[in-house]
Amino acid sequence: MRYKSLLSVVFCVLIFLSALPAKPANTFQWRVGEELTYSVHWSFFRLGTLKLEVKDSLTYNGHSVYHIRLHIDSNPALFFVDMHSKVDSYIDDDMQLHRFLARENIDNVNYLTEYRLDYEQNKLIINMTDLEDTTHTIYEEKPLTDEIYDGSGLIYLARSRINNKGKLNVTALANGELSDVHLNFTDRTDLLKIDSLPSKVETYYLDGSFDNVGLAGLTGPFKGWFAKDPQAPPLKAKLKVFIGSVSIELENYKKWSPDV
């Protein structure tokens, strides 16, 4: 009887475990050397260009990470916006941020900023140096209570989960502050035509919102369309920045072959 009871308990446990939601399968394919270049438009005006690169794969602080570089360059013909930034992010296969290097403007001061995230010690380490007065530095250690993503990491997180329907709330780091980002992965697919591709391609659609102001004044709701293939690069996005709603569209690419 005891043997039969034990079998019954084991059987019930197996049924319970099989009913638990599985972690979404990560079928995303990294490509070192991938370059994705985007135009950024506000109404009829070209605001500038974004370029996202997978520079390398390496080991940082005992973790296997990818070095991602984001270039942000405003259109020099426009007098009302002047932004030229280079952001280096080091993220792992779960798209968590481990190190971040950038120039950031905080309280009207331009800083060379480094964030280091120590998940074993649960510490976020912030180093900032005033670019005009290098004797002025800021050093902070903050408790790390959650997985952290930056702007680049959020893009790769979306790419890695784009074919898994569901909602995801994550914590993002920008301008020295942590904020909530809400991602809504839908089962919607669209045929999308953009100028850089010869014909329409199948895409996954997602939407979501930023609670606070992020990189380049990014805030509020957003929408995105991602290619329906293992690399799943974002092809088009609509979002809000400090001057209003903008449209972002892929205009050049390397180390990606669209299925058209």
Pairwise CA distance, residues 75 & 158, whole Å? 27
Pairwise CA distance, residues 243 & 241, whole Å? 6
Q: What is the model's pLDDT at position 161?
A: 94
Say what percent of the chain tops pLDDT 90: 54
Q: pLDDT per residue over 99-144, tens digit each?
A: 999 887 666 778 889 999 999 999 999 998 988 888 889 899 989 8
Residues 6 or more apart from 81 whose CB is under 8 A from it?
A: 47, 48, 74, 75, 243
Q: Which residues pair with 85 in a beta bridge?
A: 72
Pairwise CA distance, residues 109 & 102, whole Å? 13
pTM of the model: 0.83
Q: Are 159 and 233 in contact (CB under 8 A)?
A: yes
Work out the mean pLDDT of the chain and round it to a whole number: 83
Q: What is the model's pLDDT at position 189?
A: 95
Pairwise CA distance, residues 237 & 234, whole Å? 7
pLDDT at 215 over 90: no
Say what percent of the chain tops pLDDT 70: 82
pLDDT band at 16 (very low <50, low <70, confident <90, very high): very low
pLDDT at 20 over 60: no
Q: Burial of 92 by CB count in 10 Å (0-12 exposed, 13-18 middle, 19+ buried)? A: middle
CB atoms within 10 A of CB 17: 8
State mean pLDDT over 148-168: 92
Pairwise CA distance, residues 173 & 44, whole Å? 31
Residue 161, classed as helix, strand or coil, is helix
Residue 158, classed as helix, strand or coil, is helix
Q: pLDDT per residue over 234-252, tens digit each?
A: 999 998 876 678 899 999 9
Q: What is the model's pLDDT at position 75?
A: 85
pLDDT band at 178 (very low <50, low <70, confident <90, very high): confident
Top-tier CATH class for 33-254: mainly beta
- Rg value, the chain, Cα: 21
Note the helical H segments in 70-227.
Answer: 151-161
